Every structure is written in C-alpha cells, then in structure tokens.
Amino acid sequence: MRILHVVSSLNVGGAERFVIDLAEEQSTKGHHIAIVSMGNKGEPLEEEVISKNFQLYLSTGIFQLMMLFRQYDVVNIHSSHCLFRSLIASILCSCRIIYTRHNERVHLTPKWKLTYKLAYIKLHKMIFVAEKARLNYLKAYPHFESKSMTVLNGVLPIKVEKHETNKVRLGIVGRFVPLKSQHYLIEAVASMSSTKDMALEFFGDGELLDKNKQLCKKLIPEMEVTFHGLVPNRDSIFKQLDILVVTSETEGLSLAILEAMSSRTPVIASNVGGNPELVTDEFNGFLYEYADIHKLADCIKILTVDAKLRTQYGENGHKRYNDNFSMSICASEYFKAYN
C-alpha cells in the first residue's frame, strides 16, 4: 500500500512525532511511506524523516497536492491546518482520505462548518485519538458517526537508563504556548515549603518561553531550573526526567505521557482530554484538576519523597504501555481504518 501522511510542519510536537513513529512502523510491514509537510524547509524533524528513507515533500499549493495525492492509495491528514487544502486537492482523486484529529477542540465557526461539509463527502474515516474527543465532536456533528472511529495513539519503545543525580527531576515536554500552561508547574513548586531536593527540566520552545523563564527568576530564584529548548531525541529527554508533569488545559492523547510510560517514568497530569485514558490516579501517577496548583503541589510532594512509589508507578505505566499503546497495536488499527 502507498501511504502519504500530511502534516502542518516538522517542528517538534506530539502529532509530528506520532506521524514519524507510525510511518516507521508501517514501513516495516512493507508499505511505501511518504510525508508531505506544509511547513518550512529545515525544520527540526526534517533530518529524522530523511534519515528513515521516507520520501519527503515540502508542498503547500493545491495543484501540487493534487498531483501528489494521485500517486497514493491512502492520504492520512494529521492537522486541521492542512484539512481544507487537502480536501480541495482530493476532489478529483480516487485515493482514500483519512483525517486524524490530534486534539479535542470542536470547531463551530461558519468556516469550519463548511469545511466539515466537504469532509463528510470526501473522508473515508475520521480518526480520533481519544474516545472522549470523538464523543464531544459527535455532539456537534452527529452525522459523522458512521465515518468516525477512535484509535489510541502509540509510540515506539523507549529504553533509557536514568541519569543518577541527588535531586528528583520534574519536567514538562511541550511547546511554550498558552494551552500547555507550564506556568502552573512553576507556581505550584513556588508554593511548596521546601524544594531543595528537586530540579525542574523544561523541553521545548515557543512564544511563552521567555515569560516562563522570567517567572522562574521571580518565584523560584534559588531552585535549579534548566530550559533545554528543542530536543528531538526522546531517549535524551527521558534520561533526565524522574517525573513527567503535564499542566495542559486541553490534550488529545498525549504523546509525552505515552513516551513517559514507555520509559517507566511516572506522570502527574491535568485531568483533561485523553489524559485520564492514560493515567489512572494512584496507579501510574496522579491526576489533578486543571489549574489547581495546590493539588499539583501535593502530588509533587508525594512522588518526590517516595522513590519506591516512583518506581512502582513507572512499572505500572510501562505494563499499560505494552498492553495497550505500543505502536504495533496502533498501526494495525490504522490499517483497519485504511481498508
């Protein structure tokens, strides 16, 4: 089967990482894989795509997309930013069009209602990465029931030996954009009576990076805090984390949480979107209500002082990953959708 994945960019993000992992797993099954990015040349994940010998196209024009789509059996769109152009480009093409929604927000403006009318005509399947997201969408667009399905995200295995340090390292992996809300971790830590045994590690960049750096200087000036910037290598990230913290206002099915589970890293996550489908409170981590910095601080305190609990939650998460969220399981479900 000839499969083309469409992404909005090759910047480091959950959806982009997922597409590369899925493509790698699909290629091991003998399928021909290509990726088209509507971003800019030289973005961080471009070299990784090329190193895996996937055909890479940098294209944004509708006519260019139309010519590409005719060469493939399946076109899998992974971003709402690409959807309208891709649907227009597919009008005269016979390939099957799949749209994967990687977030839980439901668009209701006239522009999107028009886009979804076209999507209903052209889409073979609309894939949701969390069941809650699918049900929320169907409340607004119930006629998509027959075209919708949920396929839980997967990630490739991550095997790391943790770096030994004298501090428990809490970290966030993600872009510094409003919905990720990294400032709540900083505020939660600042509210704690003692942080001498902890360190903060931030991975990612974005529009709010400098604002969060300034907040750290203001609220926790004595604490060890490292802003690593963009780090494409996941093994490198999770070697440096003892606890993953997710402070997001909204999530689909978080790739960062899946990567933490794969690497035996316990998780503290906001109780939003697909997070509770991955994290069971007091099993492989803790859930807290979004923006509740006092509850977040309580969860941090429990995990930072109890090394045995961190190990137990990490092992529980790894077993859940193996049983439900490996990329081989995910890829097989995508293949069902394609057919």
Read off the CATH number of the domain in which 313 is found. 3.40.50.2000
Whether residues 37 and 88 share a domain: the answer is yes
Q: Are 171 and 268 in contact (CB under 8 A)?
A: no
Whether residues 74 and 28 share a domain: the answer is yes
Find the domain containing 179 and state its range.
168-324
Whether residues 315 and 173 share a domain: the answer is yes
Whether residues 140 and 211 share a domain: the answer is no
Whether residues 202 and 141 share a domain: the answer is no
Selection from 311, 316, 314, 282 nearest residue 299 by Cα: 282
- Total number of domains constituting the chain: 2
60 pLDDT band (50/70/90 cuts)? confident
Q: What is the mean pLDDT of residues 238-257?
A: 94
Question: Where does 11-109 have alpha helices with state H?
Answer: 14-28, 46-51, 62-69, 80-89
Whether residues 131 and 175 share a domain: the answer is no
Whether residues 180 and 45 share a domain: the answer is no
Whether residues 201 and 122 share a domain: the answer is no
Query: Residue 158 pLDDT more than 90?
Result: no
Lowest mean pLDDT among 10-19, 168-177, 260-269, 313-322: 10-19
Domain boundary among the residues 99, 124, 150 is at: 150
pLDDT of residue 159: 82
Q: What is the mean pLDDT of residues 302-321?
A: 96
The dihedral region occupied by 181, where left means phi > 0, alpha psi between -120 and 50, and beta the remainder, is left
Q: Are 266 and 244 in contact (CB under 8 A)?
A: yes
Query: Residue 113 pLDDT more than 90?
Result: yes
Whether residues 139 and 174 share a domain: the answer is no
Q: What is the mean pLDDT of residues 284-313?
A: 97
